[in-house]
A and B are shown apart, each in its own frame.
Chain A
């Protein structure tokens, strides 16, 4: 059996999820040059928000066709509130501070969010079972689940909407202007604080979409789920060129496919048996990152930006 199509599908699905989360890193970085390390936790709170809607608000036996949009809304609201709240109360007071200060704040916030969920959300100190979309479909030699279809459709719709928004809408253009030069943009009458809030909100919503897809695909969520996913998504954003939204999605896909193929095929190469398999996938993914950054320090689609620090 040729497993390559299935493995590519596995990789692209994982990559779409990385890409959706990576958007949050890249948009915020593009506009305020801040690496929001708490973004992984915003993803996590989005998952718990969606779970709250499903488990505590909707009546038992609600069909998934109805539940999924409501979960997206619920998760989205929670993630956006936390993302915007983080910006307003944790990052904005430090806007003029040296770069290290907001970075440390982000790490602190990330720990605080994890602990708040662990201690105050019922039963969150271990894995929480999330409703899954487990019906499977065979397309040629590929088997995929409903949750996978949801993920791929959500990624395409979200990416297209974002591209349209940034290019065509007035706010989107204001966003580009702020990214280019916040001071001049402000002189031209753009409310940069509002633009920054919007960037955080979009990142939060995308993270919530990824979180719902994550929950339905893997069937469980926990308070630490944001750490590894956040780290991978951040890697994807850097790989694609941080600050570039298309780069974030491309970086996510490349990272997902690279991880999957590395874990699937490296140990078939003669002499490489010891360095293959699932436990080495992160090693190969980060090797790829190092190689890309050596050849193209600005990332796959990034542009070289003058350092403003």
Chain B
């Protein structure tokens, strides 16, 4: 009897666990109130890390797209069509992203997808979307290979015509950072660390090349594993190398711990990173030790854009979780680009939604390529590789416990 009863308890514990697991798969069915019966409902997928690592910025992407969809429905942007957003959690893992992409493309009402956050995840998703001829717009991927091919430095070639992004590339971001480090901060010897991921390693490489070209010295390099917590050994090496700046290619999960342990060991040099660590969580985790650290991010600060003001207010008033600061506005524009392309397709089909989903998807891809409108993050248009024509970048510095923009401009690749 005792055995039986404890088995019951065990089973209920396991069942609770299983239920919570399934619960997170279906948490997103609340978006998009249906307005007007008889209309067509079209789905837009959004894929980003919504739990665990990177989830602060990931949630910013999800809700940025959510607001775009809500706005489109409210303003009846495409008459007769109600858009529904379906969110997928990729946990920052390529395999999960790929399976999400398969689910999205398998949905017969889906017309396009926003995301993912991570370049490494995007690599595994591109082929899936290309095969389904469905448009995918990332608000945050910065790795140049995604749009310009493996040999982007010598021979640019677009691998997938269904892939677009509203963020600019690391080629510009890394160079912009190197330029600011050398000319703005007057740092001459840098220690470069990356997390070996597509995004982090790529960014660190571009930074290193540009920093050397400018005349700076790289006094040491190291690579870490994502998920690591103890950087004691790395910190001692940096201390010994007498660097005056640490450049890190990767996400805030690791860089916030690195800066904390670095300064804890008495090494008072700033840590400089890319948009992957531009998140409020970085400051929350690293606390006072993050003061003076820097990060580049794509675009101009969301709260300085007049058009983004309503967006920021809506985001806050809805009480959405996550951080809209990094990519929220880009995610909004990405979703809007898809919606506008749907509108173009409907208009071209004499005001009716094309009944063949494949035909619709195909014309949405063409429509996005021809995008040309004023988004909330600036002008939204794509070049022949699917890259945004908006090449603005901003350097942020932690000042009194908050990210503060210190320089905005476009990268000079000269």
Contact across chains for B17 and A7 when beta carbons are under 8 A apart: no
CB of A294 within 8 Å of the partner chain: no
Q: Mark B315-328, 1 if CB is under 8 A from A, else 0.
A: 00000000000000
Q: Mark B269-304, 1 if CB is under 8 A from A, else 0.
A: 000000000000100111101000000000000000
**How distant is the Cα of A21 from the Cα of B3 in the complex, in angstroms?**
30
Stretch of B153-161, B259-267, B341-349, B391-399 lying at the A interface: B259-267
CB of B228 within 8 Å of the partner chain: yes
Give the one of B7, B17, B23, B253 with max A CB within 10 A. Answer: B17
Contact among A6, A10, A11, A282 with B225 in the assembled complex (CB-CB below 8 Å)? A282
Q: In the assembled complex, which residues on chain B have CB atoms less than 8 Å from the CB atom of A33?
A: none
Give the 5 A-B CB pairs with smallest separation, nearest first.
A10-B232, A112-B17, A279-B223, A278-B224, A263-B233
Beyond A93-B3, A278-B222, 17 additional contacts (C-beta under 8 Å) are: A1-B239, A10-B230, A11-B232, A14-B230, A116-B20, A119-B24, A125-B52, A132-B260, A218-B230, A219-B285, A219-B286, A225-B229, A259-B233, A264-B233, A277-B221, A278-B225, A279-B224
Q: In the assembled complex, which residues on chain A have CB atoms less than 8 Å from the CB atom of B222?
A: 263, 277-279
For window 1-48 of chain A, which residues contact chain B by CB distance below 8 Å?
A: 1, 3, 6-7, 10-11, 13-14
Contact across chains for B223 and A220 when beta carbons are under 8 A apart: no
Q: Mark A204-229, 1 if CB is under 8 A from B, else 0.
A: 00000000001000111011110010
CB of B227 within 8 Å of the partner chain: yes
For the complex formed, measure the closest distance between the CB of B412 and the CB atoms of chain A, giving whole angstroms.
32
**How distant is the Cα of A115 from the Cα of B285 in the complex, in angstroms?**
22
Q: In the assembled complex, which residues on chain B have CB atoms less than 8 Å from the CB atom of A10?
A: 230, 232-233, 236
CB of B180 within 8 Å of the partner chain: no
B2 nearest CB neighbor, chain A only: A93
Q: In the assembled complex, which residues on chain B have CB atoms less than 8 Å from the CB atom of A56?
A: none
Question: Could you list 25 examples of A-B contacts with CB < 8 Å?
Answer: A6-B236, A10-B230, A10-B233, A90-B10, A112-B13, A112-B16, A115-B17, A116-B17, A118-B20, A120-B20, A126-B55, A129-B285, A136-B266, A145-B264, A218-B260, A218-B261, A219-B257, A219-B286, A225-B229, A260-B233, A264-B236, A277-B223, A277-B224, A278-B234, A279-B225
CB of A296 within 8 Å of the partner chain: no
CB of A153 within 8 Å of the partner chain: no
CB of B99 within 8 Å of the partner chain: no
CB of B196 within 8 Å of the partner chain: yes
Give the one of A11, A90, A126, A228 with max B CB within 10 A. Answer: A126
Contact across chains for A108 and B23 when beta carbons are under 8 A apart: no
For window 223-250 of chain A, which residues contact chain B by CB distance below 8 Å?
A: 223-225, 228
A135 nearest CB neighbor, chain B only: B264
For window 2-60 of chain B, which residues contact chain A by CB distance below 8 Å?
A: 3, 6-7, 9-10, 13-14, 16-17, 20-21, 23-24, 51-52, 55-56
Contact across chains for B285 and A7 when beta carbons are under 8 A apart: no
A interface list, Cβ under 8 A from B: 1, 3, 6-7, 10-11, 13-14, 88-90, 92-93, 105, 108-109, 111-112, 115-116, 118-120, 125-127, 129, 132, 134, 136, 138, 143, 145, 214, 218-220, 222-225, 228, 259-261, 263-264, 277-279, 281-282
A263 nearest CB neighbor, chain B only: B233
For the complex formed, measure the closest distance between the CB of A149 and the CB atoms of chain B, giving whole angstroms.
13
Contact across chains for B236 and A3 when beta carbons are under 8 A apart: yes
Q: Mark B58-80, 1 if CB is under 8 A from A, else 0.
A: 00000000000000000000000
Q: In the assembled complex, which residues on chain B have CB atoms less than 8 Å from the CB atom of A116?
A: 16-17, 20
Chain B residues bordering chain A, tally (CB within 8 A): 50
Contact among B6, B264, B281 with A89 in the assembled complex (CB-CB below 8 Å)? B6
B266 nearest CB neighbor, chain A only: A143
Q: A10-B233, A278-B233 are in contact. Are A134 and B264 (CB under 8 A)?
A: yes
**How distant is the Cα of A88 from the Cα of B223 in the complex, in angstroms?**
43
Contact among A88, A220, A225, A228 with B285 in the assembled complex (CB-CB below 8 Å)? A220
Contact across chains for B14 and A112 when beta carbons are under 8 A apart: yes
Contact across chains for A1 and B240 when beta carbons are under 8 A apart: yes
**How distant is the Cα of A218 from the Cα of B287 in the complex, in angstroms?**
12
B225 nearest CB neighbor, chain A only: A279
**How distant is the Cα of A115 from the Cα of B16 in the complex, in angstroms?**
9
Q: In the assembled complex, which residues on chain A have CB atoms less than 8 Å from the CB atom of B240?
A: 1, 3
Q: In the assembled complex, which residues on chain B have CB atoms less than 8 Å from the CB atom of A14?
A: 230, 232
**How distant is the Cα of A1 from the Cα of B237 in the complex, in angstroms?**
10
For the complex formed, measure the closest distance between the CB of B293 and the CB atoms of chain A, giving whole angstroms.
15
**How distant is the Cα of A116 from the Cα of B18 in the complex, in angstroms?**
10
Contact across chains for B6 and A88 when beta carbons are under 8 A apart: yes
A92 nearest CB neighbor, chain B only: B6
Q: In the assembled complex, which residues on chain B have CB atoms less than 8 Å from the CB atom of A225?
A: 229
**How distant is the Cα of A61 from the Cα of B14 in the complex, in angstroms?**
39
**How distant is the Cα of A279 from the Cα of B20 in the complex, in angstroms?**
34
Contact among A108, A115, A119, A127 with B281 in the assembled complex (CB-CB below 8 Å)? A127
Q: In the assembled complex, which residues on chain B have CB atoms less than 8 Å from the CB atom of A134?
A: 264, 289
CB of B231 within 8 Å of the partner chain: yes
